[in-house]
Amino acid sequence: MIGAAAIIMNGLALVLGVLFAVLLYNWKSKTVGKMSGWIWAGAVFAGIMVFFNAIIGISNDLDEKRMKEAFAILDQQMIEAGNPNEESWDNVRLTIKTASVKRTIDHHVYVGNFNHEKTFKGKVYVALYKDHKMIAEDTSLEFTLNPGEKKEINIFSGPSSYDSYRWEWIGELQ
């Protein structure tokens, strides 16, 4: 599945590639020859497309790595604090992975429902703390978390360093 960012980046690459290819073709075909103009235009177009798609690939790899780490943390939380013998709130877990994107710090919220039969429907409130003082908070949009499901539900901006986080489920486990 192609994300909106990938479509935008490829669209930008296409526009820039065509623009630079046409300009370079016009310049090179007048000074060196038409065949050389076509070669330069094609090479510039291909180079721009490769550059932008490399950025998309690196971004996707980082997202995938962050998600795998978050899911491993959720699994570990379930082992340490969950109750596999009972359908309960103890089996609905949350973790936050922080990512720095240029000037902003994004906090990715991942959740997992380790119950076998109960589904969570609602929102989650998250607060970040430093030195026992709340420094950021966020409430997700409403979502559904089916039994056995793990997913990213929210991204919010905030400070880069925090000591701990707390969350509160706002919804029903049914």
Q: How far is CA 9 from CA 51, 84, 85, 152, in A?
A: 10, 44, 47, 23
- Which pLDDT tens digit goes with each residue over 18-64? 777 777 767 766 777 777 767 777 777 778 788 878 888 888 888 89
Instruction: Write out the H or E segment, with its range, that includes residue 76.
Output: helix 34-81
**71 pLDDT more than 80:** yes
Please state which of the ranges 61-70, 99-108, 142-151, 164-173 shows the lowest mean pLDDT: 99-108
pLDDT of the residue at 56: 81
Tell me the C-alpha to C-alpha distance, in Å, between residue 53 and each of 10, 12, 24: 7, 11, 22
- Model pLDDT for residues 113-160, shown as the tens digit of each residue: 999 999 999 999 999 999 999 999 999 999 999 999 999 999 998 888
Q: 114 near 94, Cβ under 8 Å? A: no
Full-model pTM? 0.76
Confidence of residue 161 (pLDDT cuts 50, 70, 90): confident
Alpha-carbon gap, residue 94 to 126, rounded angstroms: 9
- Between the two ends of the chain, the Cα-to-Cα distance in Å is 31
pLDDT surpassing 50 at residue 1 = no
Q: What are the structural domains, with CATH classification, of the chain?
A: 4-60 (no CATH), 84-173 (2.60.40)
